[in-house]
């Protein structure tokens, strides 16, 4: 089954927003085994949309359209689809009543334009919108399908999820499995998979770096369903044999959230001593709801002086080994654990550039400190600009924290 995605709106064409809808829809369809052959964006013009539909409908079995269903005069998508299909639009009386009630409740006046959002195309199936006003629609014509959704991602995404979860669009035998790996970089993972020499032609394996973790995506297609199931199983098993405890999830779980969950479950507190990451680690953890149970205080110690005064990193260590060293990372992590009375102290120190100081740009040392006999220092070397080096440090440290928590504590 071949699909095209059509997103509509001037804000996309003038480059004022990133088109996250196309990515979201593509990902969902790919996961369902549907081939996305085209993403297109055009302006909110009646003729432009009709022309584009004429063209893309030639090669697509499924067209997903988002945007242009709002109440203003610029919002012409529904009319354009109706024109393309040569069908009429009508007012959905149930939705009109609901809308009137809503406006009354809010004490606002309804304008004729508002009613545009509860119009439907003849012969379509309504897709409810519990997150906003504009209705979605599912339409079949000439053995092809159109799904019409509003543009705001916070409406479009749940509407699509909800709708396609209850539909089957393809009859091919497709199985997709994801395996999520922490504590190893993507290039190492790719390399190890390449050496595993999978020869099953019905299976394709791709890795996707998600920052804190790497997803290994296995897509299997085979007309013989039993064979397909056993192929997938075999592949998954060999990956588990290869990567063992580095596999932490099969559901793209958020690494920071997993960390907070394990810390809460084990009644543990964490604290950070950040130099190169300057607050990014604390921010990643406090981004998770429930973080107040696991973090009380955290420190950005940028200068040598503040590493010494706030965290008791000794002046001798700073002088002999430098601020960017394994020894300093160790003393920072130990110091912050003791200072904050946490169970785990985590430190980062390194050179993010653009100008190198005492050490080369990209040089990073980290330490995860549980206790005197239980700490883990790491030395990384990251390439890229300032932002990328800091980001990579955060990702690898979070990944490593989760790996160690899973090994040492109950989930």
Candidate ranges 13-21, 74-82, 84-92, 145-153; the one touching its own copies (CB under 8 A): 13-21
Q: In the complex with its own copies, which residue's Cβ is closer, 283 or 377?
A: 283
Phi, psi for 129 (deg, rounded to 5) = -120, 100
Q: Does 163 bind its own copies (CB under 8 A)?
A: no
Task: Rule CB under 8 A: say whether 257 interacts with its own copies.
Answer: no
CA angle 74, 79, 81 (to 5 degrees): 120
Q: Please say whether the dihedral angle defined by the alpha carbons of residues 269, 273, 279 and 280, taken in this order, is positive or negative.
A: negative
Name residue, tokens 């980001």. 391
From the CB of 150, what's the least distance to its own copies, in Å? 18
SS3 380: strand
**CA distance linking residue 72 with residue 134, whole number of Å:** 12
Q: Which stretch, 193-201, 224-232, 255-263, 290-298, contacts its own copies (CB under 8 A)?
A: 290-298
Q: Per CB under 8 A, does 17 bind its own copies?
A: yes
CA distance 290 to 285: 9
Determine the 3-state secondary structure of 62 from DSSP: strand
Binder among 111, 187, 238, 387 for its own copies (CB under 8 A): 387
Residue 297 near its own copies by CB under 8 A:
yes
Looking at the Cβ atoms of 390 and 396, the one nearer to its own copies is 390
Give the one residue of 298, 328, 395, 399 binding its own copies; rule: CB under 8 A.
298
| Among 41-49, 140-148, 160-168, 329-337, the segment contacting its own copies (CB under 8 A) | 41-49
Task: Indicate whether 188 belongs to the interface with its own copies (CB under 8 A).
Answer: no
Number of residues lying near its own copies (CB under 8 A): 66
What is the per-residue binding string for its own copies in 354-383, x denoting contact by CB under 8 A?
xx----------------------------
Cα–Cα distance, 163 to 128 (Å, whole number): 9
Please, which of residues 84-143 interact with its own copies by CB under 8 A?
A: none
CB atoms within 10 A of CB 125: 12
Residues contacting 99, CB < 8 A, separation 6+:
110, 114, 115, 117, 118, 133
Q: Which of 183, 227, 221, 228 is nearest to 405 (CA)?
A: 183
Angle between helices 46-59 and 77-85 (to 10 degrees): 50
Contact 58, 142 (CB under 8 A): no
Which span (6-14, 93-101, 110-118, 364-372) binds its own copies, by CB under 8 A? 6-14
List of residues 6+ apart from 220 with CB closer than 8 A: 174, 175, 176, 202, 203, 204, 228, 231, 232, 235
- Asked if residue 72 binds its own copies (CB under 8 A), the reply is no
Interface with its own copies, residue 40, by CB under 8 A = yes
| Residue 386 within binding range of its own copies, rule CB under 8 A | yes
Q: Is 190 near its own copies (CB under 8 A)? A: no
Separation between Cα atoms, residue 8 and residue 112, nearest integer Å? 23
Of 79-87, 120-128, 278-286, 325-333, which part binds its own copies (CB under 8 A)?
278-286
Question: Closer CB to its own copies, residue 96 or residue 211?
Answer: 211
Of the pair 95, 180, the CB lying nearest its own copies is at 180
Q: Which is nearer to its own copies, 10 or 126 (CB)?
A: 10
Nearer to its own copies, 124 or 340 (CB): 340
- Spacing of C-alpha 351 from chain mean position: 28
- In angstroms, the Cα distances linking 172 to 175, 181, 222 are 10, 29, 8
Binding mask 302-341 toward its own copies (x if CB under 8 A, else -) reads xx-xx--xx-----------------------------x-
- Interface residues toward its own copies, by CB under 8 A: 12-20, 22-30, 36-43, 48, 52, 55, 208, 272, 274, 277-283, 285-287, 289, 291-292, 295-303, 305-306, 309-310, 340, 352-355, 386-387, 390
């Amino acid at each position: 089954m071949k699909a095209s995605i059509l997103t509509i709106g001037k804000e996309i064409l003038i480059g004022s927003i990133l088109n996250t809808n196309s990515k979201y829809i593509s990902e969902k369809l790919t996961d369902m085994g549907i081939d996305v052959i085209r993403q297109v964006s055009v302006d909110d013009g009646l003729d432009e949309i009709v022309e584009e539909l004429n063209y893309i409908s030639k090669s697509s079995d499924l067209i997903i359209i988002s945007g242009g269903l709002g109440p203003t005069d610029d919002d012409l998508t529904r009319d354009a689809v109706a024109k393309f299909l040569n069908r009429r639009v009508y007012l959905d009386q149930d939705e009109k009543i609901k809308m009137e009630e809503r406006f009354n409740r809010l004490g606002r006046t309804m304008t004729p334009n508002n009613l545009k959002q509860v119009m439907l195309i003849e012969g379509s199936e309504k897709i409810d919108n519990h997150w906003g006003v504009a209705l979605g629609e599912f339409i079949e014509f000439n053995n092809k399908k159109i799904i019409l959704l509003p543009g705001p991602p916070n409406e479009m995404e749940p509407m699509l999820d909800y709708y396609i979860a209850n539909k089957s669009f393809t009859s091919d035998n497709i199985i997709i499995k994801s395996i999520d790996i922490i504590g190893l970089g993507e290039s190492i993972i790719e390399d190890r998979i390449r050496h595993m020499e999978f020869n099953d032609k019905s299976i394709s394996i791709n890795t996707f770096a998600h920052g804190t973790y790497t997803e290994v995506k296995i897509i299997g297609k085979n007309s013989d369903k039993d064979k397909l199931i056993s192929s997938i199983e075999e592949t998954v098993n060999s990956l588990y044999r290869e990567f063992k405890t580095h596999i932490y999830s099969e559901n793209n779980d958020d690494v920071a959230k997993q960390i907070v969950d394990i810390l809460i479950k084990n009644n543990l507190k964490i604290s950070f001593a950040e130099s190169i990451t300057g607050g990014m680690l604390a921010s990643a953890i406090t981004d998770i709801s429930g973080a107040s149970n696991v973090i009380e205080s955290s420190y950005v110690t940028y200068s040598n002086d503040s590493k010494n005064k706030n965290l008791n990193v000794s002046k001798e260590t700073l002088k002999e080994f430098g601020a960017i060293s394994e020894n300093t990372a160790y003393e920072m992590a130990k110091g912050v654990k003791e200072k904050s009375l946490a169970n785990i102290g985590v430190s980062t120190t390194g050179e993010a550039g653009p100008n190198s100081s005492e050490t080369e740009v990209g040089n990073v040392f980290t330490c995860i400190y549980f206790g005197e006999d239980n700490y883990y220092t790491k030395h990384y070397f990251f390439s890229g600009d300032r932002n990328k080096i800091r980001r990579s440090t955060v990702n690898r440290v979070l990944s490593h924290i989760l790996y160690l928590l899973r090994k040492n504590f109950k989930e």
